[in-house]
Amino acid sequence: MSKLDFLTKIACAFAIVIAFAGCSMKYTVKEPIPSSIDYGRKDIAPVTLTIIDNRTGSDAIFLVKKDGSLTYTVNVILNNMEDPVRYFAQHLEKEFVSRGIPVRCAVKKAADEGLTLVINKYQIVILRATSLSSWKASHILDGDIIVNGQKKKIKAFAYNSKVPIFRMKEVEEPCFSIPTSIIIKDVASKINRAVFNLQVSDAKVDKLITEINAEIGKDADGTFWKVLDLGYTNNPKAMEPLKKYAAEGDDFLKACALSAIGTLGGAGQLEFLKQQYRAGDYEDKTMAAKSIGDIGTTESLRIMQDMKKDKAYKKNGSLRYCIDLYTL
């Protein structure tokens, strides 16, 4: 390393430390691009999804938190998300429409008859050990979907990380834009399964798999989105390819595949996910736990409760947020 490079990194380190000394940090979330999923149905009657913001206290706060600290926090301001729930509703509607489901999302204070989503928690927590360590972003949503008086839980968790080297803007895309988009797509998929239960055709699943296989190992941009899309298909045919990608892909691709297994429903995959949890590193453990939580059975909940006894639960802050989301 040259002397100039060394001095540049030192200067950047000081800049990052100074940035944390302020009262808040500001970023802009890139507008989510809808997934490639289209369920191919043209006969669905338009429906209104009433969204109620039921968040209180810390469940409505976006912040940076020093890992292990109970007191050190820095608020995060997302310039184009002044009202996070309205932003979420706007792009959730776009995601539904792109999939061929004519849903209009309306944020209201009280539920109407029909379809309602109550959001109890929508929080972003960024954990960091030091000013020079990776930013570990946890995006957390806890809600209830209510269909004609019948209530079902809707929980979503997205994780990503980034080590800022030269400027703090480097964390904007991986820690804010990408997980925000994943949360919206994940919730759309879970509402689809709970309410409409539409699925992509086998032919379209095969097409996605062919595209992914052609891109793996070639550093293609956006392959991870296609892996996630497999989870949104709601087609069991996508499960075995996802298990393959979860075992063989690069770190982020593996994490996305593990997450997508839960979004797909994860039926019959508890043993596989438990194995991935035991063998996995930071990201793999967290995403395997997320998918175990998504399964939502009595057995999967017991497994997640047992994870609280694991040393990783105490040491891994993002894993802790994930497990607490599904067990509390």
Q: Which domains does the chain have, with CATH numbers?
A: 25-198 (3.30.160.150), 199-328 (1.25.10.10)
Task: Give mean pLDDT, residues 253-266.
Answer: 95
Report whether pLDDT(10) > 80: no
pLDDT tens, position by position, 25-54: 899 999 999 999 999 998 999 999 999 999
In order of 11, 24, 156, 200, the CA distances from 173 in angstroms are 23, 18, 19, 29
pLDDT tens, position by position, 187-238: 999 999 999 999 999 999 999 999 999 998 786 678 999 999 999 999 999 9
**pLDDT at position 111:** 82
Name the residue among 222, 4, 24, 186 with its Cα closest to residue 92. Answer: 186
Report whether pLDDT(249) > 90: no
Phi-psi region of 110 (alpha: psi -120 to 50; beta: other; left: phi over 0): beta
**Structure-block tokens of residue 86:** 């309205």
Angle of helix 178-191 versus helix 84-98 axis, rounded to 10: 60
Task: Give mean pLDDT, residues 275-294.
Answer: 93
Report whether pLDDT(71) > 80: no
Residue 242 belongs to what H/E stretch? helix 239-248
**Angle, vertex CA 275, rays to CA 273 and CA 276, nearest 5:** 65
**pLDDT at position 288:** 97
Report whether pLDDT(6) > 70: no
Strand, coil or helix: what is 71? coil
Q: Yes or no: say if 159 and 284 are a contact pair by the CB < 8 Å rule.
A: no
**pLDDT at position 72:** 61
